[in-house]
Amino acid sequence: MSRLAGKRILITGGGSGIGLATARQCLAEGAKVAITGRTEAKLREAAAGTQMLYLAADLGQADQAKRMIDTLVGQLGGIDVLVNNAGLNIKDRQFAQLTPESWRQLLAGNLDAAFHCMLAVLPYMRQQKGGLIINVNSISGKRANPLGGTAYNAAKFGLRGLSMSVGAEERVNGIRVTGIYPGEVNTPILDNRPEPVSDERRQAMLQPDDVAAAVVFVASLPPHVAIPELVITPANAMYV
């Protein structure tokens, strides 16, 4: 039996990387899937030949996030699982290189986007007396490694606090919140590393399907089970 049969799942950042891998695995497990992201052409290509719905939106803008949620709730008939996966980084990420503009850009893409989507979806989940929000965070939300950069780390730490706080508040409404913290993953965000990443190193990292499998695992658990946090790293990485 398909593990996600009948589940209505919305995935942000669904046009590539972890988001697209998650969308494909959720479809294979019987879910009804919608994806969103900033670039309509990328979403259209990702959804081609499938039954995925898609809708472009800049989730850093509260009005666009709400309009996207409202539209897809209407098309799906509700949302059982929201996967906040959208994120970004920049090359000039050290504190001395940041500007007020780049700081706001990174907080908007990595923290505000999740907040806006949660704010828009929670009334629907409360109404249906249940739901699951999975925030795909980063190991940078637990360990402020300089590799991620100051603003990225700050946003991911903020996302951890957001996840834990909303999970604590919304449990009385049957709503669970999980934060997933991947280590290095071979996705297009690596293209914005200050130094190029070799193919050999990319192959040693987690792959998008690895993180997607963790998302599917969490989404397939029964409503009486909650996983507040899940850390997943490459086997050759040290987590201390």
Query: Which of 54, 124, 152, 181 is flagged as catalytic?
Result: 152
Partnered with residue 206 across adjacent β-strands are 185
Partnered with residue 34 across adjacent β-strands are 10, 53
152 is catalytic: yes
- State the burial class of residue 90 (Cβ atoms within 10 Å of its Cβ: 0-12, 13-18, 19+): middle
Question: Helices marked H in 6-145 — which ranges?
Answer: 17-28, 40-47, 62-76, 100-107, 113-127
Query: For the chain, how big is the Rg over CA atoms in Å?
Result: 17
Q: How far is CA 122 from CA 78, 80, 106, 170, 176, in A?
A: 11, 10, 24, 9, 11
Which residues carry out catalysis?
Answer: 152
